[in-house]
Chain A
Amino acid sequence: MSLDDELLRAGSRLNARLEDVPVPQPPHARGRLKVFALAAFVTVALVGSMLWITHTAELPRSAGATSATTTTGPTATTMSANTTVVTTSAPVSAAPASSECDATTVAESSQRLLSDLTSDPAAAESQIAESGFLFFSITGDSQPRIQPESFDRATLAAYLTDRASRDESFVLRSLIVSTSGIADELAATMNFTVYTEDGGIDVATADGGFSCSQRLWTSWGMVNNGPAPPGYEDTIDEWTHRCPDVLGPAELIDGYPFALCVLTDQ
């Protein structure tokens, strides 16, 4: 039996098993159920509290004749009289600062740089010098970044190759955040290796997998055991510190993660 047949059979088997899986309530219905359950709980709790308070207030009267604890009477009564039902709601915490501004800034910067590469190379050089990095953010989602359709891979690849031939350290400062599929395509047109996080490029994982993204996550407390290539650690760490707002939440935007690629001339 061929691998195709095996895979198709495995797919069919799993699909058959899934037929027996009950479909849970859709998310919104579950949300309503939670609201109903919460309302019911609150109601029961309130009624229970009132009953308990009433019961407690009546205790001294019934027990007073035979018990030495009559002094609890006024206290209990006072408590009952002063009891008010206080409804509290948890304060709505402010949403964490959005990365939209930073992402937009990077997008605009990337777009301008891409434009300058063809129309005004001097301006591009200036921008790179100013930022210290060549940074592109290229995604296919709805975020304000360069859309892949409009992204001129050939221009960027030619520029990077030329620039690297004049400045060996340049590639150390070239970082691209993109969807990994685009990173793969970009790598195919360039003369140096693109390390991606997900193993899309064989070279990146053949030796146990250097992962730039792992390095970044390490800075955010994740466990990591992938060494950076010699000489690249500082660049990556510096980048992590310089642009955490852009890279940090990138994983979370609409469920789209981003591959951070480091171009090297290895």
Chain B
Amino acid sequence: MNDLPLVRASESFETFYRRQYRQVLGLAIVLSGDQAVAEELAQEAFVATLRNWHRVCQMDNPGAWVRTVVTNSSVSWLRRARSRARALLRLASTPTSYPGLDIEARLDLWREVRRLPHRQAQAVALVYLDGMSRREVAEVLGCSDETVKTHLSRAKQTLAKRLGIGGNEDEPRR
């Protein structure tokens, strides 16, 4: 795992922010598919973290907290984007794509990840981008290890089928 959610009791918010920003941004990029939106989501998450810093800094894993905010706010953003897309589709009666979702064309694999149910996509991103263990992902998503295992397993089954490649392992090889 990367050097993310370690316990650093005396860490200031600014140090925490500088240490975590890029990886939180990466998570937001994968989940939203749009760098500009991701930057906004990351900033909002850190603003929320700063607002609650007196509480968050006491936690064992402040990095998990800010990631939870990003995963949740990215879901909210996707819902809004999809709602807008549906409305536009109905108005225009022509096929359209979700605004902002396909901009990162280079990230084809992540685009497939984003098509998964939210929790599955979040689990995959946290494991393969952030390098988190199942236990750490469970902490971010607020569920049990077993639930994470289920999400990962289903996600990989779906991805393997869609991409036409094999992959049955629960944990990535390191």
Contact = CB atoms under 8 A, between A and B. Distances in A.
Contacts of B124: 7
Given A10-B128, A24-B43, A223 B26 contact: no
B79 A254 contact: no
Q: Is the interface of A mostly helix, strand, loop or mixed?
A: helix
Contact of A4 (B55, B142, B172): B172
A222 interface: yes
B84 to A, nearest CB: 8
Most buried by A among B46, B131, B147: B147
B79 A222 contact: yes
Contact of A8 (B13, B84, B128): B128
A199 B129 CA distance: 22
Contacts of A65: none
B107 A26 contact: no
Nearest to A184: B147
Nearest to B169: A4
Nearest to B160: A3
Interface residues of A, number: 47
B143 A181 contact: yes
B111 to A, nearest CB: 10
A230 interface: no
Contacts of A29: 14
B6 interface: no
B156 A3 contact: yes
Contacts of B86: 223, 225
A94 interface: no
A200 interface: yes
Contacts of A11: 128-129, 131
A24 to B, nearest CB: 7
A182 B117 contact: no
Contacts of B52: 254
A19 B147 CA distance: 32
Contact of B119 (A19, A148, A199): A199
A27 B76 contact: no
Most buried by A among B107, B119, B144: B119
Interface string A1-31: 1111111101100110011010110111100
Given A28-B13, A223-B87, A257-B76, A179 B143 contact: yes
Interface of A: 1-8, 10-11, 14-15, 18-19, 21, 23-24, 26-29, 139-142, 148, 179-182, 184-185, 198-200, 202, 205, 217, 222-225, 251, 254-257
6 contacts: A10-B129, A24-B39, A27-B50, A217-B83, A255-B48, A257-B72
Closest 5 CB pairs of A and B: A181-B143, A3-B167, A199-B117, A255-B69, A223-B83
